[in-house]
Chain A
Amino acid sequence: MSKNKNTKIVMDKDGIDRCLTRIAYEILEKNKGMQNLVLVGIRTGGVYLAERLQKKISDIERDKIPLGILDVTLYRDDISVSNKKSRMGGTKINFSLDDKIVVLVDDVLFTGRTIRAAMDALIDFGRPKMIQLAVLIDRGHRELPIRADFIGKNLPSSLWEAVRVDLVEKNGVDEVVIEEGI
């Protein structure tokens, strides 16, 4: 990706994979298996990570864990003129969430506003027994009382930096990058 800005790679392909493997085991450990467990990835980065977690968990448990896709655009409190007209991908949750343990998956946990929107959206789909949150990167700076249950890496960052998760599925490379001066 762009090397012209002041960028630093903080996690590479193997690092991402090891984090996801650990998170997959932690999810199963905390919930004592995959009974009633479903994954919901938040568009767009969270979807690819959720797909990878689905594969890992399904391999470990030898049974396929359901996966849904959530587009939170319509639930955001910060849609602005600049981003509201971006193309939406749509939500696909083809199973009931009633009494399920839902693990929300996203790439970066930052202000918490995306997760707030995602929880509102999930509750419109049913009444999950529990909602848990798995993120690859927690960069701090929360604006809402939200925390993750499963974290790949805590990455203290300044507000002047941008944290970007590149994934093969969308950017052709697996890495986590800090960019300075946004």
Chain B
Amino acid sequence: MRVFFILLGKELRQFFLSPLAYVVLVLIMLVNGVGFYASISALTRTASSGSLVTWLFTTPWFYMSYFAVFPLITMRLISEESKLGTLETLLTAPVRTIQLILSKYLAAVVFYLVLWIPNLLNIWIFQYMSGGAAEIPKGPLLGSYLIFLLMGLFNIALGLFASALARNQIVAAILSFTLILLHFLLGMFAIYLSSQRVQSFAEIFTYFAAVDHIRLFTSGLLDTRPMVYYLSLSVFFLALTHQVLEFRRWKT
């Protein structure tokens, strides 16, 4: 356990002492801010069915940050270690592979959570400035944060896996971007299928549909199926990452 916390400390230090972290933070703040402004101006123009929360997480601005953030967070995690050769110094010290993977994973998750602070601030400041006139629904907001935590857990595990596969950071980033996009498109496929009235197929695909999960949770409906889905997939990809690291040692 001590080894895990020492590794976690090192990973967090590497996150918050690197310029990349702050570039990502600024980028996310910028995109979030523009998205926030766009949602509010859309709400003031015409009457609409959704709340501010639903609008906030369905703008193209939001999706831009959604696809960009995970590759940026995860790309260097393992690929940099294998390129520098420090994987060898780590794994010849009394460190288990699983401790190494989990410390990297948790550090990335912590950084991801920090990236959500500007969003929370946006909403808080808006509420404060409007003097309570603007109503922010508590349930949908909680649901939104929950689903983005779950999706974050899953996408970071996916990115970590990509980082273990590739020695080059850029390749790792492109690989995780592709995997995240593919997963997302799989859900879009469900929507297409249901429009074609192939219900039995469509139902299977809705289990994967990230868009659908976001829609449910941002309206305040906490469904356990996506929770189990994302958590189990996270564990699956972490296990896969472990296998890749072990297998690489067996092979070369």
Chains A and B form a bound pair: no
B interface residue numbers (CB < 8 A to A): none
A interface residue numbers (CB < 8 A to B): none
